[in-house]
Structure formats: C-alpha cells, structure tokens
Amino acid sequence: MSATAPTYIIGHKNPDADSICSAIAYAAFKELRGEKGYLAARCGNSNARIDAILSRFHTPLPLYLTDVCPRVRDVMITDVHTVHTDATCAEALEFIDRHGHRIVPVLNDAGKFVGTVTASQLAHAFLPQIAEPKRMRQVTTDLKSIARTIHALVVHLGAEPAQVEELYVRIGAMDISSFWKLSQAEGIPAGQSIIVVGDRRNIQEKSIELGVRAIVVCGMQPIEDGVIDAAKARGVSLMMSPYDTATTGWLIRTAGRLSPLIDQTYTSINAEARLSDVRKKLAASAAPAFLVLSEQGNLEGILTKSDVLKPVPTRLVLVDHNELTQAVTGADEVSIAEIIDHHRLGPMTTSQPILFINEPVGSTCTIVAELFRRYGLKPTPDLAGIMMSGLISDTLLLRSPTSTAKDADVLAWLETHADITAKALAELIFSSGSVILAQPADKVFRSDFKIYDEEGIRFSVSQVEELGFDNFWDNADALSAALTELRESEKLTFAAALVTDINTQNSIMLTKGDPDFIRRISYTHIKQDEIFDLPGVVSRKKQLIPYLTSLLKEMASDGNAPTNRGRSISPFRG
C-alpha cells in the first residue's frame, strides 16, 4: 500500500468548464500553499469549449479517472517474502516467525508462483502420529539441509550429501543392546538412520560399524580421533550440534523438504479487482489469505483478511458538486477530504470533519480565486485565465441569475493578473463550437448532465449552451430520441434538457418521461408536446431545478406519484 497516494481534486460527472477549471486552479492553490500530493482530475470527457479554454491557457486536461473504487492493489501486502520449492520446513517456520504471516508463498527456479504452505499445514505435519510411531521419526531431506537447520559443525560428510532421501531420526539414549534391539524391531535400515547421540562412544562406534547415514553428536561434545577416522573410513557423515538431544532430534525433522506440503489449490485474485467484491469472497473463504497474481502468473502481493480492514489511501476533494449521485464512481467508498462548491447541499455524510466551503456565488472558480486573493497568492496569467473561464462560463459573463457582486469583484481582480480581458475571453468561450454539432446526438445531453433524487424520484437535467436555437431544431428528432434513451438507460422518472441561447438569454426545454408530470409544466409548448419555451431561464441551478422540484411537491400533495415507464414508483411521503 502506497503511503504517498495522491489526493484527487475532481469535479462532477460530465464536467463543464467550471468543474474542470476549478479542479486545475485548486490543485495549483494547494501547490502554492506548500501542500503536496494534490492532483487535478476529471471523471468525464472534455468538450469543444473546455478544449478551447485549456488550449488558450496552455494547460493539459486533468487526469481521467473512470472510478476510484478501492482496489486490491490499494491495501495488499506488496513487500512479499517467499521461499523456494527446495526450502525446508524449518525455513518456512522461520519465515512465519519472522514476518508474522500465516501463509508462505513458494516459488520455483523460474521465479514463478507454484503454491503455498500454511502454518496449520506445518503444524499438522509435526503432530505425533501415535498409530504410526515410525513416521514420527521420518524426514525426507539431505544431509546439507540437516547441518544447516541444526547449525551443526560438520566434521565429515559422506557421499552425496545434497541428495534428498528418506531418513529416520533415532536417539541413542539407552544401553547399546536395548537400543539396537528396538531399532531392529522397527525395521529401520542402518543406511537410512540418523543417530542423535551424546558422548556415548560405544553407540557412536556401533553406529559406524553398522554403516548408518549420519551421526549427530549433541551439545558440541568433542569426538575422539578414532571415531572420526572410523566414520571417514566407513563413509558415515559426522557432525556436532550445539543443542541438546531432544532439541536436535526435533530440529532434524524440521529439515524435511517443504515440497510435499505445497498446496496448489490456492485462491488467486487480480490486483485490479474491486475490494468490495473481494471482501465478500475472502470473508466466506477458509483460506487465510488470497494470492495476488499477474496475468503471467507472477506473485504481486498477498491479501489477508486483516488487510481488507485497512483504510484505503485514496482521498478526494470534490469541487463544483457535493452530491454522491454526481460524483465519480466509488466516491462513497473512499475518504472525501474537502468539498468546494456553490450548489445546494445534497445528502452526504463523512466519517470525520472535513473542510467544506459552500458559497452562494455563480461559480466554483469564484471561490477558488477568492482563496488566492485571501492568502496573498498571485496566479500566473494562464492560471488567472483558467479561473476567469470557469467563472465566465458558469455565469454567462455575469448575466446569469446566479451571478453575484462577488463574482463581478473576483472577475475584475482576475483580469488584473490575466493576459486577456473578460469580454475577449467570453467571445472565445462562447464561440468555441456547438456542442450539438460537435458530438453525436447520444453524447450531447451527457456533456453537462446531472442526476437528482428528490424524495425517491430520480430525474436528470442536462444543459447545452448554443448561439441561437438553429442547431437544436435541425437535429430535434435525433436529440429527442437520445433523451429518451438516456432516460431509459439511467432508469429515470423523467429527463429534461435545457438548451440555452447565450445571445438572447432564453432557453427551450425538451422533456421525456412521466406524462402527468409533463402536463403540469406551465411553460408554453413549442411545436411538440414535450418541448417548452422558457424565456429568461438560463440557470439550471437557480431557476429550473427549483421549478421542477415545486412540480414534484405539488404532485406529492395531490397524492399522485410520477411513474417510470408507465409503472408507479415509490409514492411521495409528506
């Protein structure tokens, strides 16, 4: 998990100029204040107007984020420790003790992930086998691994000390006659025997005489020269352990190869998988962890049940909106650190207090520019132009009903820092191309599109600004069909599109949806029953939304719930 994950400053879906410009400007504000790690972002496509603004002021589009849903990569353990297929059980146990993991990833010679060994598997492997005492002595390993595991001082190694073989540990703690009688009764061949003994020379000599595979002398007891010479002559390996007899015998068993215990039925996931989906699978699984593998099968990380409880590092600053229905997908699953907005308050909760600046002004860029002025920060000409663009676009050069005296004051201040006048910039912005002509019909109403939820009724309002209405009427049939498709795909009670003529400051509205709701619209019909003339209406926020909301409340008071696709949806509650 990265400790330096950026905080994304991001506007609403289907961003307009103010949304994009305020994100860019607020990221610059944070940088000038010495606050690192803030990055401007967007969660929708650009349009001709935004492109013209950013081109004029030599600024790239913000980072595009389709969603910020927490992913496995955000919380998985990336500093993954592994063992090789040739590792011993002792090395796996040491791995668990050192790193605190309950699962041990195993790689082959090519570095590819082959499986896992868990702490419970290792524990089961060393449980006493009461019914089969011979198995309690068995260990499949090689002499070099035994020496390494018990930290032995090697006196002599016989033939093929690296050969993996089936061996049996035997403790030489009793009288020599009793010891060999018991050994013969168990049927353990001498050549497969590892004799763990103290300073009993008679057992050492008898073991050499019988040709055991190795003798391990415990407690670093000295070995007489005659015994060493005899062991070399007979090809018996001889080593000295620093531990007592019981400890040495147990450790030799842990020198067994890990390969027989490797579980190849592990559960793997992709680093890009959504954490919300994986969390459910992990909770229902008996596996202590999931392995995070690349498409090539390389191990990228481990995700344990405790990892999914970690806080997700992704943080957001929302600009130009404060409702989750308008926010980037996944915003409700990450930390929202700040909100800078000029719209009505929507239903949103946060897990802790945040900085929330909400002012009744014409644009979010007005608020951000005022922060520059308040803290004595001088924007560059390009940055001043960016903020002017968001302000001019959202207030229609101060002619919108949403404009305030503060907008005018801030715009005048920005002009003193920019290399362009407000009037010239407005001409550039509003002549930057028709949205209707620049995009397919099915994209036009999604270019500036917001979904609202009033008392369980979901509806949308799009806004398109044009120089006159000719382009709309030339494409009215295609746009009408596109709005119907938008309503259907988003499962809305109704969808409205406000087409505003920037020159005359008038609008027309196209609507699709519940017939009873549409009949209540009091504006004059134009040509078709679902197109209305809205003289003097240019603001979605301050003029149209309050009007539509009043119609919904009127229907609620009459006891008539709007319908969705001819079906009655949840009734209003007073």
Beta carbons of 266 and 116 less than 8 angstroms apart: yes
Q: What is the pLDDT of residue 61?
A: 97
Q: Looking at residue 571, what is its pLDDT?
A: 32
CB 151 within 8 A of CB 230: no
DSSP string for residues in 199-240: S-HHHHHHHHHHT-SEEEEGGG----HHHHHHHHHHT-EEEE
- pTM for this model (two decimals): 0.68
- Name residue 563's beta-bridge partners: 568
The one-character DSSP state at 363 is -
Q: What is the pLDDT of residue 216?
A: 96
pLDDT in the model for residue 177: 67
- The whole-number pLDDT of residue 359 equals 96
pLDDT digits (tens, 9 = 90+) for 158-192: 899 999 999 999 888 766 666 666 556 567 888 99
The enclosing H or E element of 490 equals helix 476-490
- Contact between residue 516 and residue 503 where contact means Cβ atoms under 8 Å apart: no
Domains of the chain, first to last: 7-70+313-430 (3.90.1640.10), 74-124+260-309 (3.10.580.10), 151-254 (3.40.1390.20), 435-568 (3.10.310.20)
Stretches in the chain below the pLDDT threshold 70? 1-4, 128-134, 174-186, 455, 560-574
pLDDT at residue number 509:
96
